[in-house]
Amino acid sequence: MLYLIGNWKMAPEKNIQVIDLVKKTNEIAKLYKKSITTIVCPPAVFLPIVKKNIKVPLGIGSQGVAASDAVAQTGLISASMIKESGAQYVIIGHSEMRARGDSNANVKDQLTRLFEKKLTPIVCIGEKTRDEQGWYLSEVKDQLETVYGDLAPLQAKKIILAYEPVWAIGAQADRAATPAECREMTIFIRKFLSDKYGEKIAKAMPILYGGSADEFNAKSFLEEGTADGFLIGRVSLDPKRLGALAKTINK
């Protein structure tokens, strides 16, 4: 089973747009339910609306969670609130969150909160820059060690991991990442997981590509890049393009 996770970021703006987008995404999820697990992650204010209009097999997730349950955290939402909203998944460690101050330690604390409430973590990891000496691998290894350091296999297997090369994302990207670069990182990640949990468990853990994936390059990232699906942004807001991407993944 492959994954297609839509991070809506700070969009849409209106309730009616949210309902329309959910209904159209529902149809895509239903069409490809045998081969793709489809999940949408709307802004927190829209979680109740999405929950009301969502249909199986489309899953719902939150874009973040507070690192602790302390009440004095203006602007954040707790794992308990997310659970109450009906969400099943939560994105943590996203590059935009890390840019706003989330450290590896914060991501680990967020992960702990999610496991406490039996929510499925979508954990983003990735290097800020690429250097010819390969130091970027150390950056990713530090992130992996923080996430998986004390996790038992049963918990580790519940994580959906998304490789997100920060330098290749958004309007300020240095350039687009290549499927070969994605493959290099998935091999590196699986080697880390295999050393810690064994080859059988490591092979079963999903590793998604969280860069600028679309309906045109998805095939290469799945086949050559060995990704198990995608965490996408802009494309998830356009049902026509999302449908084309799902069709490519299904093939």
Catalytic residues: 94, 164
CA dist., res. 239 & res. 40, Å (int): 12
Nearest to 203 by CA among 228, 185, 178: 228
| CA 152-154-159 angle, 5° bins | 95
Q: How far is CA 7 from the centre of its chain?
A: 8
Strand partners, 163: 125, 209
User: CA 148, CA 204: separation in Å to the nearest integer?
Assistant: 15
What gap in Å lies between CA 24 and CA 4, rounded to an integer?
Answer: 15
Task: Return d(Cα 168, Cα 190) in angstroms, integer.
Answer: 21
Sign of the alpha-carbon dihedral angle for 164, 143, 43, 229: positive
Give the pair of three-digit tokens for residue 50.
Answer: 């999405």
Cis peptide before 42 (omega within 30 of 0): no
